[in-house]
Amino acid sequence: MNSSLIGNFKIPLPPTKAEQEAIAGALSDADAMIESLDRLIAKKRQIKQGAMQVVLTGKRRLPGFSGKWEEKTLGDLFNFSGGYTASRDQLSHDGYCYLHYGDIHTSAKTFIDVNAEHSAIPKLQVPLSKVSPASLLSDGDVVFVDASEDDEGTSKHIVVVNPEGVPFISGLHTIVAKAKTDELDHGYRRHCFQTTAIKKQFLFYAVGTKVSGISKSNIAKVTMPVPSVPEQSAIAEVLSDMDAGIEALEARLAKARMIKQGMMQELLTGRIRLISREGAKSAKGELDQNLAASRLRVNQKENVSREGAKNTKGGAV
């Protein structure tokens, strides 16, 4: 690619400055809408992060709950074991569901729903008789990675949602935590390992330079405060509502970006013409409606949350 080639490119050009300005205005308005959604999502994430640091540590309690939280080690709560070794090259679309540690690192969620995500989960063709029962994942199991190339990844984990007991194999470089007791609510497990205090402990026990690793014996030493199961359920509900609000906004953002891409393909090629600024405004009307609807839904979710959730959010900003 050089300047002479670029100079020979032909592009469709609107015949009047007024039409060019109308197109630019429509696309700029779409960009502004996308940026507004981006800022809103970032704000909601910050609020949720702040909320987790206070409600998961007992610094702020939800209404109706009192009493001291008991300090537990993860070794008190879980039995730990390793996964079944298989390389990425051995995975395909056939066989039993297989949880690769790389997929934990890249997941934006802290849980995996085997039924809902079954088709997307990599598969491994292996007789189950060759897989240790400790490496087969059950509902509520927590799977930690045992190696990471960055500090943030040291405590990466995922909670398994598998109520029907679908065969699901934990893989290479994973540490499987199976509950010893019923002291931790399944929903609470999705959130409780994300506090700054717990992440610092994982970093403390991790060893290595370019790649940090943590052992089963050291994970067992990590401590955490444990509220009663009813309080855990209430906390999990509040945080899950916040997650749902963020996910709704992210879906709207993805749609807004798709709409803007479609507008560019139509307006910049002349397939759709704008004859005035009013026409440009109508072209991005769906974006305005999407943003307003997203904000309304998020606000409604927050309004119906318990009063304690509101107080938590307010204190975390």
Determine the Cα–Cα distance for residues 234 and 236; give it in Å rounded to an integer.
5
Residue 304: is its pLDDT beyond 50? Answer: no
Q: Could you read off the pLDDT of 239-298 as tens digits, one per residue?
A: 999 999 999 999 999 999 999 999 999 999 988 887 655 555 555 565 566 556 656 655
pLDDT at position 284, please? 55
Percent of residues, the chain, with pLDDT higher than 90: 73
Domains of the chain listed by start with CATH number? 15-55+235-316 (no CATH), 70-226 (3.90.220.20)
Determine the Cα–Cα distance for residues 120 and 93; give it in Å rounded to an integer.
9
Q: Could you read off the pLDDT of 148-176 as tens digits, one per residue?
A: 988 888 999 999 999 999 999 999 999 99
Residue 121: is its pLDDT beyond 80? Answer: yes
Determine the Cα–Cα distance for residues 21 and 72; give it in Å rounded to an integer.
64
Q: Mean pLDDT over all residues of the chain?
A: 88
Cβ atoms within 10 Å, residue 94: 8
In order, the DSSP letters of 151-169 are SGGGG-EEEEE-TT---EE
Greater model confidence, 15 or 187: 187
Residues 51-78: what's their mean pLDDT?
95
pLDDT at position 92, please? 95
Buried b (16+ CB within 10 A) or exposed e, 168-207: bbbbbbbbbbbbeeebbbbbbbbbbbbbeebbebbeebbe
